[in-house]
Structure formats: C-alpha cells, structure tokens
Amino acid sequence: MENHITQISREDLDDLRDAFNKIDIDNSGYVSDFELQELFREASFSLPGYKVRQIMETFIAGDTNKDEKISFEEFVGVSSD
C-alpha cells in the first residue's frame, strides 16, 4: 500500500487528505461504510442504486485489513487505482 502513496504528487496527496477528512465525519482517522453512505446521501447523488453499490464495493475491496473501515492509506490506494 505504501507504494501508492509514493507514486502520487504531494499536491495530490494533500487533496486526497482533504477529501478523506471531509468524509471522515467522526474524525476517527477511518472512513466507515456508514460515512460513505452518508456522503452520497448528503451530496444528493442521483445515481441508481446499483451504481452506489459498485462504488461501495470498490471502497470495501480497498479495506485490506478487513476491519470494515478505510484508513487514509487504504483510501489513497483505492483513489489512485
């Protein structure tokens, strides 16, 4: 996972950190499936249910330690794929 972080620019990494912090509603340092669902709800995405599920599955697949939450490093990995 560390390789993903070193392959992107400092500016992009800062942008990802800002995005991560906006999604991390409870400031736990992790993004949970609930927080992702809340993000979609608050953004009023008019995506069909199957598309939201696909996005969720992408993030869940990035949960490399299977703790049902996404760390910043996992977030970077998913975002840079």
2-21 confidence digits (pLDDT tens): 444 457 889 999 999 998 99
> Dihedral (C-alpha) 65, 81, 16, 63: value to the nearest 10 degrees?
-10
The CATH number given to whatever domain includes residue 24 is: 1.10.238.10
Q: What is the pLDDT of residue 32?
A: 82
d(CA 50, CA 27): 28
Query: What's the pLDDT at 81?
Result: 67
Q: Are 15 and 75 in contact (CB under 8 A)?
A: no
Query: pLDDT digits over 23-63, tens only?
Result: 899 999 998 877 877 887 787 766 677 777 787 788 788 88
Output the CA–CA distances (angstroms, integers) from residue 44 to 9, 10, 38, 47, 77, in the order listed. 30, 30, 10, 9, 26
Parent domain of 39 = 2-80
Specify the pLDDT at position 24.
93
**pLDDT for the residue 38:** 80
Structural domain total, the chain: 1
